[in-house]
């Protein structure tokens, strides 16, 4: 199982937490980005099988990054992460082509269920 996953979050501890959960479950090919702009820039060279992206970030938020990546790569698999109370943003993200979303605070089993539903 060598699926590549890109974690995009401005909070390093959130990336670390998700990375920890993923690697415990056999997903070890993980690249990171600390904002949407970095994700958009690195997507073409990294070609991740899945992107797990926060909605609220500086420089470029997750919704804008989602739009830009999907414009060039319509079949990109992107899961959005949102805090409670960001329902409108989540709906917007799903309309823009996000495959699913996870709500913070994360539960490891919810992350894995979502990842497995997309990557198999």
Domains and CATH numbers, the chain: 4-50+62-76+87-119 (3.40.50.2300)
pLDDT in tens, 91-111: 999 999 999 999 888 889 999
Inform me whether the pLDDT recorded for 84 exceeds 80.
Answer: no
Q: Give the side-chain half-sphere CA count within 13 A for 96.
A: 24
Residues contacting residue 61 through CB under 8 Å, at least 6 positions apart: 36, 55
Residues contacting residue 64 through CB under 8 Å, at least 6 positions apart: 36
pLDDT in tens, 41-83: 999 999 999 999 999 999 999 999 999 999 999 999 999 998 8
Q: Which helix (H) or strand (E) holds 36?
A: helix 36-46
pTM of the model: 0.94
pLDDT in tens, 20-37: 999 999 999 999 999 999
């Amino acid at each position: 199982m060598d699926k590549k996953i890109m974690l995009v979050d401005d909070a390093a501890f959130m990336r670390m937490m998700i990375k920890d959960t993923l690697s415990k479950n056999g997903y070890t090919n993980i690249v990171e980005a600390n904002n949407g702009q970095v994700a958009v820039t690195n997507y073409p060279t990294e070609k991740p099988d899945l992107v797990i992206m926060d909605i609220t970030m500086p420089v470029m938020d997750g919704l804008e990054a989602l739009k830009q990546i999907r414009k060039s790569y319509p079949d990109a698999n992107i899961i959005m992460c949102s805090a409670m109370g960001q329902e409108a943003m989540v709906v917007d993200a799903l309309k823009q082509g996000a495959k699913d979303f996870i709500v913070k605070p994360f539960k490891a089993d919810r992350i894995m269920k979502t990842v497995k539903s997309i990557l198999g």
